[in-house]
Amino acid sequence: MTTAISSSISTISGVEYEALLAVGEAPAALREFAADSGEDGFVLLRGIPVGELPPTHVGGVASGVVGHHTDAVLRRVADALGVMVGYAEEKAGALVHEVQPVAGDEQRIENSGSVAFDFHTENVHHPLRPDCLGLLCLRQDHLGVAATRVASARAAARLLDDGVLAVFRQPVFSSNHPTSFTRGGPEAAPAGPHPVLYGEPDRLFLRFNSHNTFATTAAGRSALVTLAAALEEVCHDVLLTPGDLVVLDNTVAAHGRTAFTPRYDGQDRWLRRFYSVRSIPRTVRDMMGGSRVVPALPRIRGVW
């Protein structure tokens, strides 16, 4: 089911865009979202200038842009929500991720693939998960069918009975590391056990990846099936067009993507992604040494 998103859309004016670049003054809609992401857990900002772009691919291999003006935009937005970070084990610690289909990766359940990507919160395995993330559209897919799917845990929870909600609060779930973190290395032990839902009943938070989170009990496995159906029921399908930036509260809203067919002709879908965290433990900041890159998990394992 796809629901209306008009209440979560805001168009950035030219004045707001210039202020964002010049002094980091976030648009009003973003400031409100940073203070309280609400029931839906996302906001859609429209009107960000994209400018000239190189081809999406060179020989079917993802390409990037160095010094593109959207680097500054995404950093300002991320820092208005918390602190922009990268992860040492993912994309070599890059702060801005180029989300493009890659030849040969079509079936991979990560941002280089083009098959359907089911609901998940980002980096579900990690103790310092992003509080927020953003996806800026530079180029839409050829047919305009690739939708970013957003589903609020708070809205979905209203469809679940008390017994199922109680199961989700139990630490009977674990989550595998996403393949974007394990490429080229050994498979890591799952993170957990952990609950899937936590927080106050009227202000729930979510830790869940439909591809990576599994339960150790029959009740947990049944509950995960029910959650997937509830998220589908409250889902917003957001068709991003160039200049659209969807910002998600990664503790409230799960997200995914519908399938599309890349052509590797230089004009394929191209999004840029950032992560933002609201608070970094002092010991982790010391290990980061003034950078914005969260060290590899073995280095920070004892912090939590």
3-state secondary structure 170-227: CCCEEECCCHHHHCCCCCCCCEEEECCEEEECCEEEECCECCCEEECCHHHHHHHHHH
Domain count of the fold of the chain: 1
Q: Indicate whether 14 belongs to any domain.
A: yes
Task: Give the pLDDT means over successive 10-residue stretches in the chain (304 positions).
Answer: 56 76 80 93 92 87 84 94 96 94 82 87 96 97 96 97 98 93 77 96 96 96 97 96 96 96 94 97 96 95 82
283: Cβ contacts below 8 Å, ≥ 6 apart = 300, 303
Alpha-helix residue ranges (DSSP H) falling in the chain:
14-23, 28-35, 69-81, 153-157, 162-168, 179-182, 218-233, 282-288, 297-300
| 3 state DSSP class of 290 | coil
Report the mean per-residue pLDDT for the chain: 91
Q: Say how far apart CA 131 and CA 66 lie, in whole Å.
A: 26
Q: Which two tokens stand for residue 195?
A: 């609950």
What pLDDT is stored for residue 185 in this prediction? 65
Residue whose pair of structure tokens reads 């050829």 in the numeric block: 142
What pLDDT is stored for residue 5 in this prediction? 53
Terminal alpha carbon distance of the chain: 38
What pLDDT is stored for residue 4 in this prediction? 45
Contact (Cβ atoms closer than 8 angstroms) between residue 152 and residue 41: yes
Cα–chain center distance at 228: 17
Q: Indicate whether 203 belongs to any domain.
A: no
Cα–chain center distance at 8: 17
Q: Indicate whether 157 belongs to any domain.
A: no
- Amino acid making up residue 143: L
Q: Indicate whether 179 belongs to any domain.
A: no
Q: What residues are paired with 272 via a beta bridge?
A: 98, 136
Neighbours of 217 (CB within 10 A): 12
Residue 267's domain is classified under what CATH number? 3.60.130.10
Q: Indicate whether 301 belongs to any domain.
A: no
Neighbours of 185 (CB within 10 A): 10
What pLDDT is stored for residue 25 in this prediction? 81
- In tens, the pLDDT along 250-269 reads 999 999 999 999 999 999 99
- Amino acid making up residue 135: L
Q: Indicate whether 52 belongs to any domain.
A: yes
Q: Indicate whether 198 belongs to any domain.
A: no
Q: What residues are paired with 83 via a beta bridge?
A: 277
Q: Indicate whether 160 belongs to any domain.
A: no
Burial of residue 203 (CB within 10 Å: 0-12, 13-18, 19+) is: exposed
What pLDDT is stored for residue 184 in this prediction? 63
What pLDDT is stored for residue 104 in this prediction? 86
Cα–chain center distance at 14: 26
Going by the DSSP 8-state scheme, the letter that residue 62 receives in this structure is E
What pLDDT is stored for residue 17 in this prediction? 73
User: Residue 259's domain spans which residues?
Assistant: 6-152+234-289
What pLDDT is stored for residue 210 in this prediction? 95
> Alpha carbon of 102 to those of 115, 118, 175: distances in Å?
12, 19, 25
